[in-house]
């Protein structure tokens, strides 16, 4: 890079004074900075590269000191961060105590809405537009939303109200034809320029031939139609949809042409009422490896910037939990025709890509529609199918009512596989799976499990698929201990745990990801103190292994309960309720380790485990304190 314009930009207002040429040069510098940084830190590379030009044009035409630019999901806001005062610490992005990977109200006054989950921008933006009007203020509110995020019902709920209210409000559709994978559903092809163009061209040609057959006035009509080509085109493309919502539709326009973008923004800013500007962008723009493989570069770990390749691992690595789940499900689906799999726009992330490729007719990517995914599964289950819904723990939060009302109330045999249960690391508080044990445990009819390792996950899947009612399995992000996988995983006995250590002095009840650290801590402490420390792997959060808990506690005066979930209402709360209900609390000293009642920041998982005491060292310390207290 020869010029160094970026270092002269000290505030977003500087962009307002830039020429188009300057902004084009800045776009190159910003892309270099993003690629160089994310190749080290990891992050959402392709989405961010796709909106660099759009970001510059927005900051050229609008003033984020007063105008509210709201990013949907927020994973694409890296250029925005760089240009709104965060260039100097951009290299800290997603690092512990560094910049968040998403917009955050706490991080900057230029971030006008905190985000991480998709499809909130239209609702939040409309709320801000109405607030502006109620307060008699005068600024613009803009929501920037991707075509993937436009698959969620929430986005249409926002459009519907916005059209009804008729407030000044702009929605910018960033259409790159991609969600994380290729975008899905009827609307994705409706937005799609290719289909729209083909359809439009066919209708246009048919219309032209027909007009030309009309004697005398036919030719005039063709000329007239040619002049109105723009409106005709929008009529046959996505414009129809948004105009039905009473938005003024502008587009589609090239989202990489800064000159055109600024011109359109200027014109659109003068319009009254809700306006939708449809921009066409290329995901990964400006970095050939990301343009070629936008799914891989959607959210990526560190990579070599020249080649775009990941550093090669020194040793063959065990499959992560997502892969173990995906492979096991594939194997089971080969034997059971009734198994169908459902993903909400995350086949790769959840490990369902293997199922998609092996059983395409039994796989359904519903888009970013977690609520619909659950009710769709319920429908399939009523007809004798065995739906397996794989969703990240944090995103299943969206489906709480569907879980209760559509699945569990009707006792339908749907299996929920919750990836990323517990702390996820660099994506931070919007993505930690901190609440699932709490919000699932309270639902009647649901069997809830968490494995300590890979073979246990396999067995839990077999167990869940054999149940007559609903079940959920939650497992952590990344790799487990790397145990060999089973060819024919045996089912587990419902509500039975696994006694891993016998011990009379102290007892540990643990579940899921904390069982193995507890095993290590108990053995270390026993060696150091000579005290006998027992450990029960509960396996089931619901129903609890009640009999084994009673037996394990016999004679023990100290109990440590461990869970990688909020301490509010989760596994340890379930144990306390059980002990209280059975008058087993007296004479028992109890300590609980889990996630505290606050949102946990972003950073390496090991660091976050250390901070929350959810590692071997933290467990040993808790055991020590308990030993001193009994
Ligand atoms: C509720 C929810 N479900 C799933 C996700 C995971 N996710 C993050 S970005 C993304 C795709 C978004 O596609 P789009 O809006 O088109 O943006 P692009 O990445 O293509 O720029 C998905 C599925 C999420 N953030 N929120």
Distance 143 CA to ligand 1 centre (A): 15
Region 504-629: CATH code: 3.40.50.920
Nearest to 575 by CA among 630, 609, 538, 615: 538
* Ligand 1 atom closest to residue 175's alpha carbon, by position in its atom list: 16
Span 179-215, pLDDT tens digits:
998 899 988 877 765 444 555 556 556 666 666 677 6
For ligand 1, atom 25: residue with the closest CA? 117
Dmax of the chain from CA atoms? 106
The pLDDT value recorded for residue 239 is: 83
Average pLDDT (27-34) is 98
Dihedral, CA atoms, 545, 548, 550, 554, nearest 10 degrees? -160
For ligand 1, is residue 176 a contact (CB within 6 Å)? yes
Catalytic residues: 283, 370, 398
Model pLDDT, residue 189: 74
Report residue 53's pLDDT band, with 50, 70 and 90 as the boundaries.
Answer: very high
Judged against a pLDDT cut of 80, whether residue 217 lies above it is answered with no
- Give the per-residue pLDDT at 469: 98
User: Does 395 sit in the ligand 1 pocket, CB within 6 Å?
Assistant: yes
- Tens of pLDDT along 586-628? 999 999 999 999 999 999 999 999 999 999 999 999 999 999 9
CA of 390 to the centre of ligand 1 (A): 16
Q: Is the pLDDT of residue 235 over 80?
A: no
Given a contact cutoff of 8 angstroms between Cβ atoms, the answer to whether 3 and 29 are in contact is yes
pLDDT in tens, 369-391: 999 999 999 999 999 999 999 99
Query: Cβ of 482: how many Cβ atoms within 10 Å?
Result: 11
CA distance 207 to 509: 74
d(CA 505, CA 404): 41
The mean-pLDDT minimum among 140-144, 186-190, 262-266, 327-331 falls in: 186-190
CA distance 614 to 479: 17
Instruction: Order the strands of the 169-175 sheet from edge to edge.
Output: 68-71, 141-146, 169-175, 274-280, 248-254
Task: Spell out where 50-134 has E strands.
Answer: 68-71
Highest mean pLDDT among 181-195, 307-321, 325-339: 325-339
Res. 98: pLDDT tops 90: yes
- Least confident among 48-57, 441-450, 548-557, 571-580: 548-557
CATH number of 321-474: 3.40.50.970
180 lines ligand 1 (CB under 6 A): yes
Ligand 1 binding pocket includes 345 (Cβ within 6 Å): yes
> How does residue 367 score in pLDDT terms, banded at 50, 70 and 90?
very high
**For position 195, what pLDDT does the model report?**
45
Please give the distance, rounded to the nearest whole angstrom, from the Cα atom of residue 579 to the centre of ligand 1: 42
pTM: 0.93
Q: In this structure, what is the dihedral angle of CA atoms 244, 247, 252, 253, given to the nearest 10 degrees? A: 180
Asked if domains 7-292 and 504-629 share a fold, the reply is yes
Of 551, 541, 547, which Cα lies nearest the Cα of 575? Answer: 541
| Secondary structure in 3-state letters for 158-198 | HHHHHHHHCCCEEEEEEECCECCCECCCHHHHHHCHHHHHH
Distance CA(370)–CA(22), nearest Å, equals 42
- Domain ranges in the chain are 7-292, 321-474, 504-629
258 has pLDDT over 60 = yes
Give 214 or 43, the one with higher predicted confidence: 43
Residue having the nearest C-alpha atom to atom 22 of ligand 1: 180
Q: Residue 341: beta bridge partners?
A: 363, 388
pLDDT in tens, 99-152: 999 999 999 999 999 999 999 999 999 999 999 999 999 999 999 999 999 999
Q: In CATH, what number does 7-292 get? A: 3.40.50.970
Q: Are 154 and 397 in contact (CB under 8 A)?
A: no
- State the DSSP string of 484-528: PPPSSPPPPPTT--EEEE--SSEEEEE-GGGHHHHHHHHHHHHHH
Residue 385 Cα to ligand 1 middle (Å): 28
Q: With 50 as the cut, is the pLDDT of residue 1 above it?
A: no
Nearest CA to 378 out of 402, 344, 350 is that of 402
| Residue to mutate (ligand 1; options 115, 179, 238; most atoms within 8 A of CB) | 179
Over the chain, what is the mean pLDDT? Answer: 94
75 CB under 6 A from ligand 1? yes
- Alpha carbon of 265 to ligand 1 centroid (Å): 25
Which ligand 1 atom lies nearest to the CA of residue 76? 21
Q: Atom of ligand 1 at shortest distance to CA of 150?
A: 15
Nearest Cα to 322, choosing from 391, 385, 376, 373?
Answer: 391
Report helix, strand or coil for 561. Answer: strand
Q: What is the mean pLDDT of residues 68-77?
A: 98
How far apart are the C-alpha atoms of 278 and 192, rounded to whole Å?
Answer: 11
């Amino acid at each position: 890079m020869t010029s160094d314009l970026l270092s002269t930009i000290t505030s977003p207002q500087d962009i307002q004074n830039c020429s188009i040429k300057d902004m084009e040069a800045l776009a190159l510098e910003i892309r270099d900075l993003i690629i160089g940084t994310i190749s080290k830190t990891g992050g959402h590379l392709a989405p961010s590269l796709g909106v660099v030009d759009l970001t510059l044009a927005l900051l050229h035409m609008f003033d984020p000191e007063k105008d509210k630019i709201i990013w949907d999901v927020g994973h694409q806001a890296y250029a925005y961060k760089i240009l709104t005062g965060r260039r100097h610490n951009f290299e800290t992005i997603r690092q512990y105590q560094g910049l968040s990977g998403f917009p955050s109200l706490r991080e900057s006054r230029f971030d006008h809405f905190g985000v991480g989950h998709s499809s909130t921008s239209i609702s939040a933006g409309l709320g801000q537009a109405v607030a502006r009007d109620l307060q008699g203020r005068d600024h613009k509110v803009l929501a920037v939303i991707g075509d993937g995020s436009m698959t969620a019902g929430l986005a249409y709920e926002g459009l519907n109200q916005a059209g009804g209210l008729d407030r000044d409000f702009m929605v910018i559709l960033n259409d790159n034809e991609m969600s994380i994978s290729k975008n899905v559903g009827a609307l994705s092809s409706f937005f799609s320029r290719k289909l729209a163009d083909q359809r439009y061209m066919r209708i246009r040609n048919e219309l032209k031939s027909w007009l030309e057959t009309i004697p005398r006035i036919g030719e005039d009509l063709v000329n007239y139609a040619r002049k109105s080509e723009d409106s005709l085109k929008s009529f046959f493309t996505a414009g129809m949809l948004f105009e039905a919502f009473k938005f003024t539709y502008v587009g589609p326009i090239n989202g990489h042409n800064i000159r055109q973008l600024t011109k359109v923004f200027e014109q659109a800013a003068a319009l009254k009422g809700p306006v939708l500007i449809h921009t066409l962008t290329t995901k990964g723009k400006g970095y050939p490896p990301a343009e070629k493989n936008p799914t891989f570069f959607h959210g990526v770990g560190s990579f070599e910037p020249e080649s775009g390749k990941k550093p090669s691992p020194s040793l063959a690595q065990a499959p992560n939990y997502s892969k173990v789940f995906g492979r096991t499900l594939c194997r089971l689906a080969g034997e059971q025709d009734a198994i169908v799999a459902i993903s909400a726009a995350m086949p790769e992330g959840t490990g369902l890509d293997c199922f998609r490729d092996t059983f395409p007719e039994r796989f359904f990517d519903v888009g970013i529609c977690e609520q619909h995914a659950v009710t769709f599964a319920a429908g399939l289950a009523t007809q004798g199918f065995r739906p397996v819904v794989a969703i990240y723990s944090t995103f299943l939060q969206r489906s709480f009512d569907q879980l209760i009302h559509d699945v569990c109330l009707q006792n339908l045999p749907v299996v929920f596989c919750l990836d990323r249960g517990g702390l996820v690391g660099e994506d931070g508080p919007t993505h930690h799976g901190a609440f699932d044990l709490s919000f699932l445990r309270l639902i009647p009819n649901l069997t809830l499990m968490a494995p300590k390792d890979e073979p246990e996950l396999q067995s839990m899947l077999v167990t869940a698929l054999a149940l007559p009612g609903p079940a959920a399995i939650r497992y952590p992000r990344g790799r487990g201990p790397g145990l060999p996988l089973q060819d024919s995983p045996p089912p587990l006995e419902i509500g039975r745990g696994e006694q891993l250590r016998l011990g009379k002095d102290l007892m540990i009840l643990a579940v899921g990801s904390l069982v193995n650290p507890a095993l290590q801590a108990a053995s270390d402490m026993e060696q150091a103190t000579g005290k006998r420390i027992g450990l029960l792997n509960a396996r089931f959060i619901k129903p609890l292994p009640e009999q084994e808990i009673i037996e394990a506690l016999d004679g023990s005066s100290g109990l440590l309960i461990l869970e990688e979930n909020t301490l509010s209402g989760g596994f340890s709360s379930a144990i306390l309720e059980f002990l209280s209900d059975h008058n087993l609390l007296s004479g028992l000293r109890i300590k609980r380790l889990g996630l505290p009642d606050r949102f946990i920041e972003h950073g390496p998982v090991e660091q976050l485990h250390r901070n929350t005491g959810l590692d071997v060292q933290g467990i040993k310390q808790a055991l020590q304190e308990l030993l001193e207290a009994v």
